[in-house]
Amino acid sequence: MKYRGARIFLEALRCEGIDAVFGYPGGAVLHIYDEIGKCGTELGIKHYLVRHEQAALFAAAGYAQATGKTGVALVTSGPGGTNAVTGITNAFMDSLPIVVFTGQVPTHLIGMDAFQEADLTGMTRSCTKHNYLVKKVEDLAPIVKEAFYVANSGRPGPVLVDLPKDVTAAVTDFNYPEIVDVPSYKPQVYGDPKQIRRAVAAMMKAKRPVLYIGGGAITAGANEEVRLLAEKLNLPTTCTLMGLGGFPASHPLSLGMLGMHGGYWTNMAVNNSDLLISIGARFDDRVTGKLDEFAKDAKIIHVDIDPSNIGKNVKTDIPIVGDARTVTKQLLTELANQLEAGETIADKSEWHQQIADWKEQHPFWFHQDGDIIKPQYVIKELHRLTDGKAVVSADVGQHQMWTAQLYGFDNPRNWLNSGGLGAMGYGFPAGMGAAVARPGETCVAVVGDGGFQMTLMELATIKQYNIPIKVLVINNGFLGMVRQWQEQFYAHNYSQSDIAVQPDFVKLAQAYGVPAFRAEKVSEVTSTLQEALNTPGPALIEMKVAREENVFPIVPAGAALKDMILQ
């Protein structure tokens, strides 16, 4: 069958099982939008018209984070592509599988400074896993096939495909490849057997071990294997911000989150461990604090599918390159073999007691007094009312850390946020993408009044498509995390962090046709949350909270984990 390139593009998406595309039209992609209007529904592809290209990328990322499937965004040339770069970089840093299709000027005008021309493959080379410029229509289907394979294999990441307008207009036969073979790209899945044996022997001997889970364990679907490994070896287990839900928060072995805003007991356990077993984490600076003080008495086992991550930030004693789920299965098999051979597991009762003592000394703490709403109380109530089972996305800032500390995620892919890039504005459109991906589930975007104002125009999108996302605005009238740092480290000099001049969010949502609710005192919190959560379709909830509440613990920049500020 002969099709023009625009139809071939949609047929390729159909072959990949894509059911949702988040995008914004423009001149360079009008052939594609013409085909979407003609046959998108017939092909099972629903397009969601966002109100800004950055939101399209964040929504595609939320879709991918909530499912593990590849998210898709479609934008036009020039400013459409440049507006997408923040979202592309976010997906790159958090290893999220998305394929971004950008329009481009016709091939004969490339390099001529044509209207809305931008070198999108050049400018995204450092923030994509790979990118392509399609130069002829015959290459379009094979490139799309390869793009999806690269995006969601090995260590996932964003792939960009730049589509010149004349390529989408040209006609050729549609033949979609069945397999992909990229000779230079062969991700290593299985861990080295010798290293597996060394790792298990070290785990069995360790008296003060900590299992440290990152987002890579969730990406690999390793949560059940990780749980079994922890239980069989009686391992206290901590998760990074991106790894929350990779190990159940309610499990007796759970230590919660570590790092800059991790629990006191968690950071002390890591700091005093004799063996740190990392699966799918990259030892970023928000976890380690001062590097030469990080777990300095511990041997380190590091499992990661990306060999460039191993040894990059900390010295690794037992490196294992491979897929987190596959390697954890190998570890479990080797553990069974060593136990059958008569090897024993070291007693850890004193270690668990020490951790329990640390937790009793300095638990997560807040005091809800008077009628001023504490944001921590809102998160605790949200957890109670949703039974801890909601899909929760977060923006970036204090509310993100309170949610990470207090919501308690028992399942993977229920916690979505911008971890590596820390992009404000992420929470709302990411939650929108998650709600599209997981219909019938409760999806809540917890956002600050600062970050929300960066993407609030997507209220129009959720109204247009009746996307049932609940937007919970934690409103303190400040750029909260900036203000906290200014209070603690800059002598209370609140320079340009006061954003009390802002719209009435309830009236604004109502202007978009979205039901909206507000609580201004403690007695209104529960009923307001209940009413909004029970409202069909989208809804906005504004919580007017204490203006100068702080997130604790906090590890100051450049300090060691043991040097936490507690309260």
Active centre residues (catalytic)? 53, 115-116, 165, 481
Burial 518-549 (b: 16+ CB within 10 A, else e): bbbebebbeebbeebbebeebbbbbbbbbeeb
Cα separation of 476 and 498, whole Å?
A: 9
For 66, other C-beta atoms within 10 Å of its C-beta total: 25
Cα separation of 350 and 272, whole Å?
A: 13
Contacts 24+ apart (CB under 8 A), 221-227: 221/68, 221/325, 221/412, 222/246, 222/279, 222/280, 222/324, 222/325, 222/328, 223/247, 223/411, 223/412, 225/325, 225/328, 225/329, 225/332, 226/279, 226/324, 226/328, 227/251
Three-state secondary structure call for residue 396: coil
Place of tokens 């805003």: 261
Main-chain phi, psi angles of 218, to 5 degrees? -70, -45
Cα separation of 302 and 311, whole Å?
A: 8
Burial 317-350 (b: 16+ CB within 10 A, else e): ebbbbbbbbbbbbbbbebbeebeeeeeeebebee
Burial 474-498 (b: 16+ CB within 10 A, else e): bbbbbbbbbbbbbbeeeeeeeeebe
Main-chain phi, psi angles of 132, to 5 degrees? -135, 145
**Rounded (10°) angle between helices 324-340 and 223-233:** 30
- Alpha-carbon dihedral angle through residues 170, 172, 174, 175, given to the nearest 10 degrees: -120
Question: 511 and 485 in contact (C-beta within 8 Å)?
Answer: no
